[in-house]
Amino acid sequence: MTGESNFVKDDGSLALNNLANIVKRSTGKINIQMKGKTALALDFEKDKLILDIIDPTVFGRTEQDNYDVGLFEKIKAAKKAGRILNNNGLSVTILRKGKRALSIGREATPTISSLLTGSDDIQIDSIKQLTKLGRDIKKANHNKDGP
């Protein structure tokens, strides 16, 4: 047996497939607030999800056992997520404070980014915004135990 079986999947794949089914049936907008300000904005449009990370400190509030996951593991996980989203006909666009950073799934049209990620399902829309988002999240996680 080669590749992934439709009958045997790990928990991450199953969760992404379940999330994909929810997103496909959803339309509308959700704003998640912290301390009276919007931290995350989600915009569901049938086969698209736009996730705007406005305040990355929302990620600093979560526990992460694998905080120091290496770049290779992150790319591997992103490739898998992109493949699952694409197979389900879905796209996720990640924004940093309203500016496009990354697109994953069906509508991703990578050019040079496919050389970096090794995937046709991941498009780096802005290296600048993606880098800033990574720094923001890392800083938020690093400061989670602070005041």
**Residue 20 reports pLDDT greater than 90:** no
In a domain, 21, yes or no: yes
DSSP state, residue 118: S
**80 is written with which tokens?**
């898998």
Output helix, strand, coil percentages for the chain, rounded to the nearest 5: 40, 25, 35
In a domain, 6, yes or no: no
pLDDT in tens, 24-62: 888 899 999 988 999 999 999 888 999 999 998 887 655
CA 32 – CA 54 distance, rounded (Å): 10
Backbone angles phi, psi at 44, to 5 degrees: -95, 125
Q: Strand, helix or coil at 50? A: strand
Quote the number of domains for the chain: 1
In a domain, 70, yes or no: yes
In a domain, 41, yes or no: yes
In a domain, 60, yes or no: yes
pLDDT in tens, 59-116: 765 555 445 556 667 777 788 888 888 888 899 999 999 999 999 988 888 777 676 7
- List the helix and strand counts (H, then E) for the chain: 4, 6
pLDDT in tens, 114-134: 767 777 888 888 889 988 988
Where is pLDDT greater, at 12 or 71?
12
In a domain, 4, yes or no: no
Where is pLDDT greater, at 45 or 7?
45
In a domain, 3, yes or no: no
Q: Which domain holds residue 133?
A: 11-140
In a domain, 2, yes or no: no
Q: In this predicted structure, what is the pLDDT of residue 68?
A: 55
